[in-house]
Structure 1
Amino acid sequence: MFKSLSKLLTTAVYAPIIIAQGRYVKKVTPKLPEASGERSGSVGEGQKIRLLIIGDSAAAGVGVAHQSQALAGHLVSALADSYQVDWQLLAKSGHTTLDSLKMLSAQPPQTFDIIVTSLGVNDVTGSLSALTWITQQQDLITQLRTQFNCQQILITQVPPMGQFPALPQPLRRYLGGRSSQFNRKLAQLITSQTDCQLIDIDGELNQQDMAEDGFHPGAVIYQHWADIVAEKIHATVKIKEQ
């Protein structure tokens, strides 16, 4: 009780500073474009995998010049060595989970074997509570199942925002705490979802590996992210073949 009260009082004391820093960071941080290049295609040979990637600016490849350097490009390239990959990317900078729900609702029903999500940063930086976000994440999972008949959903955790070099203290500490809180709730949700897996981009975010804005991934991080996702997909396909 006293620990929670102390945390609440600390947050209240720093709130004006956090709000001011948030406005400042939004003003001075470079607005990087989404990666150029194709957002759908079919590559590789072998067993067909229908892949959809959805999400925010990270899914859209902000931080690198071309989709070949982003999550989609690295992931499709890794999978194309073993499978025919029919893929599509639906992502937009600034998207929250609710934004993605609305965007997906406008899409026609399709079938995807695997869907990869990248959402949460814009929810963390807003005023959304972790509980509300988890409700929206459950709504998203349900929609992916019903609208896209998806068999496997790979949900990327919120990145460790407490390591973002673009964020000054105490804003960095505050958003780092919120991102950790969101991830704890997300892990609890996924334990009851047999068709879902978490993607944790483990390890510290080295400043030199991030984009020039200090907020988005660079090519090295996108490659690492794609390798983790590809490994999960390979393992799941092998299990289904047994």
Structure 2
Amino acid sequence: MQYPHAALQAMHVKKTAMVLPEPEGKRIGQSGVGKDISLLVLGDSSAAGVGVSNQNDALTGQLVSELAEDHRVSWQLIAQSGATTGWAREVLLQENPLNAQFVVVALGVNDVKNGVPLRVWQARIQQVLDLLADRHGASGIYWSALPPMGRFPLLPDPLRQLLGQRSDRFDAALRGLLERHPAGRHLPLDLDLDESHMASDGFHPGPLIYKQWAQKAADMIRDDQDLNKGATTLLG
């Protein structure tokens, strides 16, 4: 941290922060009727749905519900609290997730707060993008923007300000990498982070924020499908 006071705040937050569980519910399945598509959600505690009690109200559940209105969706969630981009790279190298046409990624917050150097993070993003596209068949990788950590209710100043500035720098680098990757898409997170819509820990999304996030991802996926109507998919 840039200031000793912020470093002390970070230690205090880590020691005293409420730890919420990952929600119950299925992490793989099929839903809907229509054209076959496949979906992988990959990431950290927000991808895992921390902040709600059931996967139906989390990012994956709400995204699948959106897409299943007019598609038959084969889907899988691979996520865990504390996950970093390096963790995702190892999962993709060592495990055999669903080969998915569409991947929604939520990674970066833990890299930011754990002090991972920006250049290291960029290299890991590139590795994850290449693995998803080349090894797992993804034609659309929707990497969620880093959230505005400078607005998280849990964090005190100056820690909140410093993490906010760092997350902004990381997100700018992420956007640049995604623009240069054929399958990469930057999924904006201009969401309503009013404290009343956050989870009780002041750090994770609540159901309304997950719903907004899922709707944005579904809209981007549908837009890409409209541009590629001749493309069929996949299945892993």
TM > 0.5 fold call: yes
In structure 1, C-alpha distance between the alignment counterparts of 2:53 and 2:119, rounded to whole Å: 35
How far is 1:198 from its partner? Answer: 0.6
Select 1:57's aligned residue among 41, 45, 60.
45
How far is 1:194 from its partner? Answer: 2.4
Letter in 1 for 2:223: A
Asked whether the 8 Å contact 1:109–1:147 carries over to 2, the reply is no
Determine helix, strand or coil for the equivalent of 1:241. Answer: coil
How many residue pairs get aligned? The number is: 230
- CA 1:204–1:78 in 2, change beyond 3 Å: closer, same or farther? closer
Structure possessing the higher relative contact order (Cα contacts under 8 Å, 6 or more residues apart):
2
Letter in 1 for 2:186: L
How far is 1:103 from its partner? Answer: 1.7
In structure 2, runs of 5+ residues without a counterpart are 231-236
CA RMSD of aligned residues (A): 1.2
Matched, 1:160 2:148: yes
Deviations 1:220-241 (A, max 9, x none): 1000000000000111111111
Asked whether the 8 Å contact 2:146–2:189 carries over to 1, the reply is no
How far is 1:160 from its partner? Answer: 0.4
Deviations 1:138-187 (A, max 9, x none): 01001111221111110001110000000000000000000000011111
In structure 1, C-alpha distance between the alignment counterparts of 2:119 and 2:176, rounded to whole Å: 11
In structure 2, C-alpha distance between the alignment counterparts of 1:212 and 1:115, rounded to whole Å: 28
Deviations 1:4-60 (A, max 9, x none): xxxxxxx74x2x111110110011111000011000100101110110000000000
Select 2:58's aligned residue among 57, 70, 76.
70
In structure 1, runs of 5+ residues without a counterpart are 1-10
Query: Under a length normalisation based on structure 2, what TM-score does the superposition of the two structures give?
Result: 0.94
Determine helix, strand or coil for the equivalent of 1:191. Answer: helix
Letter in 1 for 2:215: D
How far is 1:203 from its partner? Answer: 4.2
Asked whether the 8 Å contact 2:143–2:184 carries over to 1, the reply is yes
Equivalent residue runs for 1:185-200 within 5 Å: 185-200=173-188
Q: What's 2:214 paired with?
A: 226
In structure 1, C-alpha distance between the alignment counterparts of 2:99 and 2:59, rounded to whole Å: 21
Matched, 1:214 2:202: yes
Determine helix, strand or coil for the equivalent of 1:48. Answer: strand
Larger Rg: 1
- CA 1:109–1:94 in 2, change beyond 3 Å: closer, same or farther? closer
How far is 1:109 from its partner? Answer: 6.6
Q: What's 1:106 paired with?
A: 94
Determine helix, strand or coil for the equivalent of 2:48. Answer: coil
- CA 1:21–1:185 in 2, change beyond 3 Å: closer, same or farther? same
Select 2:133's aligned residue among 139, 142, 145.
145
Equivalent residue runs for 1:33-52 within 5 Å: 33-52=21-40
Q: What's 2:172 paired with?
A: 184
How far is 1:204 from its partner? Answer: 4.7
* Superposed structure 1 runs of 4+ greater than 4 Å apart: none
Query: Under a length normalisation based on structure 1, what TM-score does the superposition of the two structures give?
Result: 0.92
Q: What's 2:234 paired with?
A: none
Deviations 1:69-109 (A, max 9, x none): 00000000000011000000000000010011112222227
Percentage of identical aligned residues = 40
Q: What's 1:6 paired with?
A: none
Q: What's 1:97 paired with?
A: 85
Determine helix, strand or coil for the equivalent of 2:202. Answer: coil
Determine helix, strand or coil for the equivalent of 1:58. Answer: helix
Asked whether the 8 Å contact 2:76–2:98 carries over to 1, the reply is no
Determine helix, strand or coil for the equivalent of 2:75. Answer: strand
In structure 2, C-alpha distance between the alignment counterparts of 1:98 and 1:48, rounded to whole Å: 31
Asked whether the 8 Å contact 2:40–2:98 carries over to 1, the reply is no
- CA 1:29–1:110 in 2, change beyond 3 Å: closer, same or farther? closer
Asked whether the 8 Å contact 2:191–2:213 carries over to 1, the reply is no
